[in-house]
Amino acid sequence: MKYVLFLGDGMADYPIPELHGKTPLMAAKKPAMDGIARRGRTGLFRTIEPDMMTGSAIANMSVLGYNATELFHGTEGRGVLEAASLGIELGENDLAMRVNLICIEEGKIRSHSSGHISNEEAHALIRDAHSHFQSWNIQLHPGLSYRHVMIYPGGEFRLECFPPHDHVGSPWRDLAIRPMTPTGQATADLLNRLVEESQALFENHPVNQNRRNQGQQPANSLWPWAPGKKPRMRTLPERFGISGAAITAVDLVKGLAIYAGMIPITVPGATGLYDTNYEGKADYALKALEEVDFVYIHVEAPDEAGHEQDLALKIRCIEDLDRRLIQRILDGIENKGWETTFAVLPDHPTPIASGNHTREPVPVAIFAPGQQADSVDRYDEESVKSGSLGMLSGSQFIETFFNRKEIIP
């Protein structure tokens, strides 16, 4: 048996007045997703429990049946996963954090991505910031576009931080990092000073002077968040006896794949945005399935459209995912004659109305050969409520998808 999981990051949403009460998933033309629902079983999946932060790291870990609260001690943990994706080996006492290059204007966060700054521009800024803050015992590692990683040996990880994509338009000084324990005060103070000093460092940086001259947003502040320490995770082969690969343009999912014992696959032209290489992701997935049992295909584009509060773009991203990636894989697997289980779901909603992640349960559809379908014939937030899977939580989704219980050591 082969297994293919399609994850459209953030594609769940709320009913939208402009769509006459429909969600983007309800309005989009997506015959491949609807076909998986029609031939399979559907339901809802609570990927983010009430006491968890609404982060993609937590949600994607839930999809694979990991308890993020247990592994990351109540923190978001994204920085740890992104460090792994960049090949950074963490020490036992290293604090790892995600760092965004953000745009601040008139004392407020204007953009979590500085207008999706280019890799070349971002690397120049991070390189200079790394040199500047080395004397603070802080290491900055360049990632993709606005997404980077910070390592602070000996730093306290129990910190309350504020993801910038959830606070666009908010005064940045109101979002200072706060210690969750008395021992974290020194770390919080240092990181808050880093944010202020980075703004002075970047204000007249040649990269930002050039961006302003071209009418683009300056990347004028570092923004650390998602603290964590190295977790100990059992791999998917250890848990289920299944080999796997992951295809994504997002470092946190790549890092999760590494910790979960999957092979991370880089696809040329995969950007994490609406212009990603959907066909390339499909073709690389089909190639990977010649060697492994399971492929986890993550597409970031709907989430970014949600953060931008761009309704037309979000619908387009859902339709591109359906037509250019999911249908291509369905056709390719049919040609190869592989017996295959498919699933489609988001990790969390990213509603157009707010542009932020939320914690509502997400719609799930699973097709497995030989299993009886339920009566649902469309894939969307409302239709799946009558599905036979009901409300899933914890490791129920991944155990249902693989049709086996986790191996207990």
Residue 312: exposed, middle, or buried by beta-carbon count in 10 A (0-12, 13-18, 19+)? Answer: exposed
Query: Which tokens belong to 33?
Result: 């997703």
Predicted confidence at residue 75, as pLDDT, reads: 60
pTM attached to this predicted model: 0.83
Residues 6+ apart with CB under 8 A from 394: 62, 65, 67
Cα separation of 352 and 27, whole Å?
14
Check the CA dihedral 71-145-357-170 and report its sign. positive
Predicted confidence at residue 38, as pLDDT, reads: 98
Cα separation of 219 and 207, whole Å?
8
- At residue 362, φ and ψ (nearest 5 deg) are -105, 155
Buried b (16+ CB within 10 A) or exposed e, 86-121: eebebeeebbbbbbbbbbbeeeebbbbbbbbbbeeb
Residue with tokens 């050039």: 210
Cα separation of 211 and 305, whole Å?
23
* H/E run at residue 13: none
pLDDT string in tens for the chain (409-residue length): 999 999 999 999 999 999 999 999 999 999 999 999 999 999 999 999 887 778 888 899 999 999 877 776 656 678 888 999 899 989 989 999 999 999 999 999 999 999 999 999 999 999 999 999 999 999 999 998 999 999 999 999 899 999 998 899 999 999 999 999 999 999 999 999 999 999 999 999 999 999 999 999 999 999 999 998 888 889 999 999 999 999 999 888 999 999 999 999 999 999 989 999 999 999 999 999 999 999 999 999 999 999 999 999 999 999 999 999 999 999 999 999 999 999 999 999 999 999 999 999 999 999 999 999 999 999 999 999 999 999 999 999 999 999 999 998 8
Predicted confidence at residue 408, as pLDDT, reads: 83
Predicted confidence at residue 32, as pLDDT, reads: 98
Distance of CA 352 to CAs 48, 94, 310, 356, 383, Å?
19, 36, 7, 8, 20
Query: Which tokens belong to 14?
Result: 């709320």
The alpha carbon of residue 23 and the mean position of all alpha carbons in its chain are separated, in whole angstroms, by 21
Cα separation of 26 and 391, whole Å?
20
Residues linked to residue 392 through DSSP beta bridges, in sequence order: 45
Query: Which tokens belong to 34?
Result: 């609807």
Predicted confidence at residue 347, as pLDDT, reads: 97
Neighbours of 55 (CB within 10 A): 25
Cα separation of 262 and 251, whole Å?
14
Cα separation of 268 and 135, whole Å?
37
Cα separation of 74 and 12, whole Å?
25
Report the relative pairing of strands 139-144 and 147-153 from DSSP bridges. antiparallel
Q: Collapsing DSSP states into helix, strand and coil, what is residue 374?
A: coil
- One-letter amino acid of 246: A
Cα separation of 291 and 300, whole Å?
25
Q: Collapsing DSSP states into helix, strand and coil, what is residue 94?
A: strand
Cα separation of 31 and 206, whole Å?
48
Q: What angle do CA 354, 222, 211 make, to 5 degrees?
A: 85
Predicted confidence at residue 389, as pLDDT, reads: 98
- At residue 136, φ and ψ (nearest 5 deg) are -85, 5
Residue 51: exposed, middle, or buried by beta-carbon count in 10 A (0-12, 13-18, 19+)? Answer: exposed
Residue 271: exposed, middle, or buried by beta-carbon count in 10 A (0-12, 13-18, 19+)? Answer: middle
Q: What distance, in Å, lies between the first and last C-alpha atoms of the chain?
A: 24
Predicted confidence at residue 297, as pLDDT, reads: 98
Quick check: 136 and 123 in contact, CB under 8 A? no
Quick check: 163 and 55 in contact, CB under 8 A? yes
